[in-house]
Protein backbone atom coordinates (compact mmCIF):
# COMPACT_ATOMS: atom_id res chain seq x y z
CA UNK A 1 0.00 0.00 0.00
CA UNK A 2 1.35 3.42 -0.95
CA UNK A 3 1.78 6.19 1.60
CA UNK A 4 -1.01 8.09 -0.11
CA UNK A 5 -3.37 5.10 0.10
CA UNK A 6 -2.50 4.52 3.74
CA UNK A 7 -3.36 8.14 4.56
CA UNK A 8 -6.58 8.25 2.54
CA UNK A 9 -10.01 8.16 4.21
CA UNK A 10 -11.54 4.69 4.02
CA UNK A 11 -14.72 5.85 2.31
CA UNK A 12 -17.76 3.65 1.97
CA UNK A 13 -19.45 1.06 -0.23
CA UNK A 14 -22.71 2.99 -0.55
CA UNK A 15 -22.96 5.64 -3.30
CA UNK A 16 -24.12 9.14 -2.45
CA UNK A 17 -27.92 9.43 -2.55
CA UNK A 18 -29.02 12.06 -5.05
CA UNK A 19 -32.30 12.87 -6.78
CA UNK A 20 -30.67 11.99 -10.13
CA UNK A 21 -32.70 14.70 -11.89
CA UNK A 22 -30.88 17.72 -13.30
CA UNK A 23 -32.42 20.85 -11.81
CA UNK A 24 -31.96 22.91 -14.99
CA UNK A 25 -33.06 20.56 -17.79
CA UNK A 26 -34.89 17.79 -15.92
CA UNK A 27 -32.83 15.01 -17.45
CA UNK A 28 -31.41 12.07 -15.54
CA UNK A 29 -27.87 12.52 -14.22
CA UNK A 30 -27.31 8.78 -13.91
CA UNK A 31 -26.75 6.20 -16.66
CA UNK A 32 -27.82 4.64 -18.90
CA UNK A 33 -27.62 7.56 -21.32
CA UNK A 34 -29.73 7.86 -24.48
CA UNK A 35 -28.28 6.10 -27.50
CA UNK A 36 -25.43 7.96 -29.15
CA UNK A 37 -24.42 10.01 -26.10
CA UNK A 38 -20.79 10.17 -25.00
CA UNK A 39 -19.24 11.33 -21.74
CA UNK A 40 -16.03 12.84 -20.44
CA UNK A 41 -15.08 13.94 -16.92
CA UNK A 42 -13.32 17.28 -16.43
CA UNK A 43 -11.81 19.03 -13.41
CA UNK A 44 -11.01 22.74 -13.55
CA UNK A 45 -11.16 23.94 -9.97
CA UNK A 46 -14.29 24.38 -7.87
CA UNK A 47 -16.99 22.33 -9.56
CA UNK A 48 -19.86 24.77 -9.03
CA UNK A 49 -18.92 27.20 -11.78
CA UNK A 50 -17.43 24.45 -13.91
CA UNK A 51 -20.74 22.59 -14.06
CA UNK A 52 -22.67 25.73 -15.04
CA UNK A 53 -20.19 26.38 -17.86
CA UNK A 54 -20.96 23.02 -19.45
CA UNK A 55 -24.71 22.74 -18.83
CA UNK A 56 -25.13 25.98 -20.79
CA UNK A 57 -23.52 24.58 -23.95
CA UNK A 58 -25.78 23.44 -26.79
CA UNK A 59 -25.27 19.73 -27.38
CA UNK A 60 -24.55 18.90 -23.74
CA UNK A 61 -27.21 16.42 -22.66
CA UNK A 62 -26.64 16.52 -18.91
CA UNK A 63 -24.02 17.35 -16.30
CA UNK A 64 -23.30 16.27 -12.75
CA UNK A 65 -20.63 17.15 -10.21
CA UNK A 66 -18.60 14.65 -8.30
CA UNK A 67 -15.20 13.33 -7.32
CA UNK A 68 -12.72 11.34 -9.41
CA UNK A 69 -9.05 10.63 -9.95
CA UNK A 70 -8.28 9.43 -6.44
CA UNK A 71 -8.50 6.52 -4.03
CA UNK A 72 -11.33 6.83 -1.52
CA UNK A 73 -14.57 5.14 -2.68
CA UNK A 74 -17.72 7.29 -2.45
CA UNK A 75 -16.05 10.15 -0.58
CA UNK A 76 -17.86 13.02 1.08
CA UNK A 77 -17.18 16.65 0.27
CA UNK A 78 -15.55 17.07 3.67
CA UNK A 79 -13.22 14.12 3.02
CA UNK A 80 -12.32 15.41 -0.43
CA UNK A 81 -11.52 18.85 1.00
CA UNK A 82 -8.79 17.32 3.17
CA UNK A 83 -6.81 16.60 -0.01
CA UNK A 84 -6.18 13.05 1.24
CA UNK A 85 -8.69 11.19 -0.95
CA UNK A 86 -6.64 11.90 -4.09
CA UNK A 87 -9.83 13.00 -5.84
CA UNK A 88 -10.41 16.21 -7.75
CA UNK A 89 -13.68 18.11 -7.89
CA UNK A 90 -14.98 17.24 -11.37
CA UNK A 91 -17.90 17.56 -13.76
CA UNK A 92 -19.32 14.62 -15.69
CA UNK A 93 -20.29 15.97 -19.10
CA UNK A 94 -22.65 13.80 -21.18
CA UNK A 95 -22.90 15.15 -24.70
CA UNK A 96 -24.29 14.46 -28.15
CA UNK A 97 -21.31 14.33 -30.56
CA UNK A 98 -23.67 15.11 -33.44
CA UNK A 99 -24.29 18.54 -31.86
CA UNK A 100 -21.04 19.35 -30.06
CA UNK A 101 -17.70 17.65 -30.58
CA UNK A 102 -15.05 16.88 -28.01
CA UNK A 103 -12.65 19.47 -29.39
CA UNK A 104 -15.24 22.17 -28.66
CA UNK A 105 -15.75 20.91 -25.10
CA UNK A 106 -11.99 20.83 -24.58
CA UNK A 107 -11.61 24.37 -25.90
CA UNK A 108 -14.13 25.59 -23.32
CA UNK A 109 -12.30 23.55 -20.66
CA UNK A 110 -8.89 25.07 -21.42
CA UNK A 111 -10.11 28.65 -21.76
CA UNK A 112 -12.19 28.65 -18.56
CA UNK A 113 -9.33 28.09 -16.11
CA UNK A 114 -5.57 28.34 -15.68
CA UNK A 115 -4.13 24.85 -16.27
CA UNK A 116 -0.61 25.85 -15.18
CA UNK A 117 -1.21 26.16 -11.43
CA UNK A 118 -0.75 22.61 -10.19
CA UNK A 119 -2.75 21.86 -7.05
CA UNK A 120 -4.82 25.03 -7.04
CA UNK A 121 -7.06 27.38 -8.97
CA UNK A 122 -6.54 30.93 -7.81
CA UNK A 123 -7.33 31.15 -4.10
CA UNK A 124 -8.69 27.59 -4.04
CA UNK A 125 -5.70 25.58 -2.87
CA UNK A 126 -5.31 21.79 -2.67
CA UNK A 127 -5.11 18.76 -4.96
CA UNK A 128 -8.91 18.64 -5.13
CA UNK A 129 -8.76 21.79 -7.27
CA UNK A 130 -6.19 20.50 -9.76
CA UNK A 131 -6.76 20.51 -13.50
CA UNK A 132 -7.62 17.04 -14.80
CA UNK A 133 -9.17 15.29 -17.81
CA UNK A 134 -10.51 11.77 -17.27
CA UNK A 135 -11.12 9.94 -20.52
CA UNK A 136 -13.25 6.90 -21.34
CA UNK A 137 -11.29 5.57 -24.33
CA UNK A 138 -8.07 5.91 -26.32
CA UNK A 139 -9.61 8.27 -28.86
CA UNK A 140 -10.60 10.73 -26.15
CA UNK A 141 -7.15 10.51 -24.61
CA UNK A 142 -5.47 11.25 -27.95
CA UNK A 143 -7.73 14.27 -28.54
CA UNK A 144 -7.12 15.53 -25.01
CA UNK A 145 -3.35 15.21 -25.40
CA UNK A 146 -3.46 16.97 -28.76
CA UNK A 147 -5.47 19.84 -27.32
CA UNK A 148 -3.11 20.08 -24.33
CA UNK A 149 -0.10 20.34 -26.60
CA UNK A 150 -1.78 22.98 -28.77
CA UNK A 151 -2.83 25.06 -25.79
CA UNK A 152 0.57 24.64 -24.18
CA UNK A 153 2.18 26.28 -27.21
CA UNK A 154 -0.35 29.12 -27.13
CA UNK A 155 0.33 29.71 -23.44
CA UNK A 156 4.09 29.59 -23.91
CA UNK A 157 3.81 32.18 -26.67
CA UNK A 158 2.22 34.50 -24.10
CA UNK A 159 4.91 33.83 -21.50
CA UNK A 160 2.87 31.40 -19.43
CA UNK A 161 4.30 28.37 -17.70
CA UNK A 162 3.82 24.71 -18.64
CA UNK A 163 0.47 22.96 -18.35
CA UNK A 164 0.10 20.76 -15.25
CA UNK A 165 -3.21 19.15 -16.27
CA UNK A 166 -3.40 15.40 -15.65
CA UNK A 167 -4.85 13.26 -18.44
CA UNK A 168 -5.79 9.78 -17.27
CA UNK A 169 -8.38 7.04 -17.82
CA UNK A 170 -11.61 7.37 -15.87
CA UNK A 171 -11.78 4.54 -13.34
CA UNK A 172 -14.70 5.75 -11.25
CA UNK A 173 -16.93 8.81 -10.93
CA UNK A 174 -18.49 9.38 -7.52
CA UNK A 175 -21.46 11.73 -7.35
CA UNK A 176 -21.21 14.69 -5.00
CA UNK A 177 -23.89 15.48 -2.48
CA UNK A 178 -27.28 16.72 -3.71
CA UNK A 179 -26.70 20.30 -2.58
CA UNK A 180 -23.65 20.57 -4.87
CA UNK A 181 -25.57 19.47 -7.97
CA UNK A 182 -26.39 22.54 -10.14
CA UNK A 183 -25.34 24.64 -7.15
CA UNK A 184 -25.27 27.94 -9.03
CA UNK A 185 -28.82 27.44 -10.27
CA UNK A 186 -29.94 26.99 -6.68
CA UNK A 187 -27.72 29.88 -5.54
CA UNK A 188 -27.40 32.32 -8.46
CA UNK A 189 -25.16 34.65 -6.45
CA UNK A 190 -22.94 31.84 -5.21
CA UNK A 191 -19.21 31.51 -5.58
CA UNK A 192 -17.80 30.83 -9.05
CA UNK A 193 -14.03 30.40 -9.16
CA UNK A 194 -13.66 30.14 -12.93
CA UNK A 195 -10.99 32.45 -14.25
CA UNK A 196 -9.22 31.79 -17.52
CA UNK A 197 -5.86 33.02 -18.71
CA UNK A 198 -7.26 35.14 -21.53
CA UNK A 199 -5.32 32.99 -24.01
CA UNK A 200 -7.43 31.41 -26.76
CA UNK A 201 -7.13 27.68 -27.40
CA UNK A 202 -6.21 27.07 -31.06
CA UNK A 203 -8.41 24.03 -31.70
CA UNK A 204 -11.69 23.94 -33.61
Which residues are part of the catalytic machinery?
46
- Angle, alpha carbons 198-203-204 (nearest 5°): 115
Half-sphere exposure of 198 (CA within 13 A, CB side): 4
Q: From CA 119, how far away is CA 117, in angstroms rounded?
A: 6
Q: From CA 53, how far away is CA 51, in angstroms rounded?
A: 5
What ranges make up the beta strands (E) of 30-182?
Answer: 38-44, 60-68, 88-95, 120-121, 124-125, 131-135, 166-169, 174-175
Amino acid sequence: MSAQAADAPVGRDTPMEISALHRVNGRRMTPPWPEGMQEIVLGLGCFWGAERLFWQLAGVHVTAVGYAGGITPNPTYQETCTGRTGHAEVVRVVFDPAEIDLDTLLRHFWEAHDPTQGNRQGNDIGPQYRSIILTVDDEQRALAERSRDAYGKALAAQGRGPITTEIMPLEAFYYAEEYHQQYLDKNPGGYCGLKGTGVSCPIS
